[in-house]
């Protein structure tokens, strides 16, 4: 798929590749196909000049867009793997992930470097706290530099022949998902599994050359560009997004459920086919999208470990009268079975190769309870402990240890239903005897500031329910308690 994309970019260099939008919704060309190919070439030269090649690891803290895509293409070209570093995860989590990935080189844009350095105070106001990236090895700047930034990623002067990897399959991407700060967990996709997932998206969406596609994920960008379709990155604000949809008239649109809900609230009209995933897509949401003009509205069931796994169109979902959440038939090449205890197990060419530091395993344990109904997957809740908020997976085990500040006996992070498949994140904290509640709240506020996008919505100071002979905290009972008690908003 990446080789096909490289050829497609060079075959029509003057055509737009990635489209942006102004606040008023005006569509503009962010980068042409030829410029994107040249940018990937320059980054590949820069990696080669720094000795990063086959088997190397590149930590990437670059905002989504053409530069991030060019970095991935360059890494693929030289045979290195990319470890995706999420600045919103918080400094402690990010340190643990860097220690596990052990990158040979960290690529960061100026914003990420400023947040980790001289601009830290300003970044903390935006709830973005990063560790010093230079502690983990050499750092190079991708994109424009600001004062204090590392040197730019450049190739050897006069070298216009980027190295090219010819070693067959190998690791391509590391994506961190869960675990703890002591034991982070990361999914490793190989070149072949990543290509298989993108080929599945191509077969599912069938992008038409020359007509725009709206979406910002890697699994939208690569297949669409390889098919000859320009890709528009979604506008950030819902009103601008509504204007962008009206002016762009995309053939296909991929937005998360929260983005769709916000766009609909802003009066957005859709056309063509609309796809949504990363969080549960209810039948009501898909119906509203079709009522807003979409020819088709699809919910995609996918995991970091296997994307995409299944898909269902609104009409089929609306016609389903059984219990549970219908997510559709497994896509071609995906096999789905249910374990003895009811957990959905998946396998296929697009499945991740392994978890970082673990042995390969062709089977993906989804953590979702399910059944197979007439060849279709029907979900019945989650087995694993995870909170799903605004299309983001939040794993409490990453952050709960830090909540045990002086004066706190027990602390849990739980999800409370917030409507349409979304959840609110509640920190339920039990203070020790004699603890000053004001001091506890002040200490917790400092922790919350370091949690990035996992920052709780509300704080509830109360006794944490216990269960069992060992009197362990009862997470289910705590979630019910949090649903019944309002708590205090976390600001």
Is the peptide bond between 441 and the residue preceding it cis, with omega within 30 degrees of 0?
no
Q: CA separation (Å) from 485 to 49, 430, 432, 438, 490?
A: 58, 14, 20, 19, 15
Q: For each of the chain's 491 residues, which pLDDT tens digit applies?
A: 788 899 999 999 999 999 988 777 778 899 999 999 999 999 999 999 898 988 999 999 888 889 999 999 999 999 999 999 887 777 788 888 888 999 999 998 887 777 666 555 555 555 556 677 777 889 999 988 888 888 899 876 555 566 677 778 899 999 998 766 677 889 999 999 999 999 999 999 999 999 999 998 888 999 999 999 999 999 988 999 999 999 999 999 999 888 898 899 899 999 999 999 887 788 888 999 999 999 999 999 999 999 999 999 999 999 998 888 899 999 999 999 999 989 999 999 999 999 999 999 999 999 888 999 999 999 887 787 788 888 888 888 778 888 989 898 889 999 999 877 789 999 999 998 888 999 999 999 999 988 988 899 999 999 999 886 557 888 889 999 999 998 999 98
Three-class SS of 320-365:
CCCCCEEEEEECCCCEEEECCCCEEEEECCCECCEECCCCCCCCEE
Over its C-alpha atoms, the chain yields an Rg (Å, rounded) of 23
- Chain position carrying tokens 């196909």: 33
| Contact between 346 and 334 (Cβ < 8 Å) | yes
127: which residues sit within 8 A by CB, 6+ positions away? 449, 452, 453, 455
Beta bridge partner(s), residue 84 = 60, 175
241 vs 239: CA distance, rounded Å: 5
What was the pLDDT predicted at 124?
Answer: 57
DSSP states of 195-212: HHHHHHHHHHH-PPTTS-
403 vs 181: CA distance, rounded Å: 13
What was the pLDDT predicted at 380?
Answer: 83
Residue 118's CB: how many other CB atoms inside 10 A? Answer: 14
Angle among Cα 176, 392, 186 to the nearest 5 degrees reads 10
Tokens coding 193: 């599994």
439 vs 225: CA distance, rounded Å: 54
- Beta 57-61 vs 105-108: how paired, if at all? parallel
Element (H, E) at 232: strand 231-232
DSSP 152: B
Residue 257's nearest CA partner among 283, 241, 232, 276 is 276
| Contact between 305 and 327 (Cβ < 8 Å) | no
Going along 8-104, which residue ranges are E strands? 16-21, 27-32, 57-61, 81-84
299 vs 405: CA distance, rounded Å: 41
What was the pLDDT predicted at 244?
Answer: 93
1: which residues sit within 8 A by CB, 6+ positions away? 194, 195, 198, 199, 202, 222, 223, 226
Task: Mark residue 209 as left, alpha or beta (left: phi above 0; alpha: psi -120 to 50; beta: remaining).
Answer: beta
191 vs 207: CA distance, rounded Å: 22
163 vs 453: CA distance, rounded Å: 37
| Contact between 114 and 81 (Cβ < 8 Å) | no
Name the 3-class secondary structure at 366.
strand
Crossing angle of helices 218-226 and 2-11, rounded to 10°: 50
Kindly report the length of the chain.
Answer: 491
- Chain position carrying tokens 């962008």: 244
290: which residues sit within 8 A by CB, 6+ positions away? 296, 297, 314
Element (H, E) at 259: helix 257-265
């Amino acid at each position: 798929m990446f080789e096909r994309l490289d050829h497609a970019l060079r075959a029509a260099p003057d055509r737009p590749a990635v489209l942006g939008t102004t606040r008023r919704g005006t569509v503009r060309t962010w980068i042409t196909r030829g410029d994107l190919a040249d940018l990937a070439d320059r980054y590949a030269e820069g990696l080669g000049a720094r000795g990063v090649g086959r088997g190397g690891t590149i930590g990437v803290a670059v905002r989504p867009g053409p530069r991030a895509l060019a970095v991935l293409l360059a890494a693929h070209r030289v045979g290195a793997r990319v470890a995706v570093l999420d600045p919103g995860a918080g400094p402690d989590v990010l340190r643990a992930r860097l220690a596990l990935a052990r990158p040979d080189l960290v690529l960061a844009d100026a914003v990420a470097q400023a947040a980790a350095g001289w601009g830290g105070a300003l970044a903390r106001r935006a709830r973005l706290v990063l560790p010093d990236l230079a502690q983990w090895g050499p750092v190079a700047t991708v994109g424009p530099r600001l004062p204090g930034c590392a040197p730019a990623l450049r190739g050897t002067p006069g070298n216009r022949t980027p190295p090219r990897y010819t070693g067959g399959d190998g690791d391509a991407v590391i994506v961190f998902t869960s675990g703890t700060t002591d034991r982070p967990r990361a999914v490793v996709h190989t070149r072949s599994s990543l290509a298989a997932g993108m080929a599945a998206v191509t077969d599912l969406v069938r992008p038409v050359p020359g007509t725009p596609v709206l979406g910002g994920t890697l699994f939208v960008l690569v297949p669409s560009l390889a098919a000859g379709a320009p890709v528009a990155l979604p506008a950030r604000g819902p009103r601008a997004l509504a204007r962008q949809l009206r002016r762009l008239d995309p053939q296909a649109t991929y937005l998360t459920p929260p983005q769709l809900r916000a766009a609909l609230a802003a009066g957005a009209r859709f056309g063509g086919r609309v796809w949504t995933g990363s969080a549960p897509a209810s039948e009501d949401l898909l119906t509203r999208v079709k009522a807003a003009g979409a020819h088709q509205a699809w919910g995609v069931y996918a995991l970091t470990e296997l994307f995409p796994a299944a898909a269902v169109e609104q009409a089929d979902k609306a016609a389903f009268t059984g219990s549970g959440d219908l997510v559709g038939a497994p896509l071609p090449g995906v096999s789905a079975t249910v374990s003895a205890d009811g957990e959905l197990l998946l396998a296929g060419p697009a499945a991740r190769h392994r978890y970082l530091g673990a042995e390969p395993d062709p089977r993906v344990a989804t953590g979702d309870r399910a059944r197979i109904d007439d060849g279709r997957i029907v979900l019945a809740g989650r087995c694993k402990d995870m909170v799903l908020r605004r299309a983001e997976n939040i794993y409490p085990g990453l952050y709960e240890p830090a909540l045990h500040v002086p004066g706190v006996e027990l602390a849990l992070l739980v999800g409370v239903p917030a409507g349409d498949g979304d959840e609110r994140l509640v920190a339920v904290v039990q203070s020790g005897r004699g603890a000053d509640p004001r001091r506890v709240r002040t200490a917790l506020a400092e922790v919350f500031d370091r949690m990035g996008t996992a920052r709780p919505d509300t704080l509830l100071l109360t006794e944490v329910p216990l269960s069992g002979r060992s009197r362990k905290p009862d997470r289910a009972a705590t979630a019910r308690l949090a649903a019944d008690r309002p708590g205090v908003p976390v600001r």
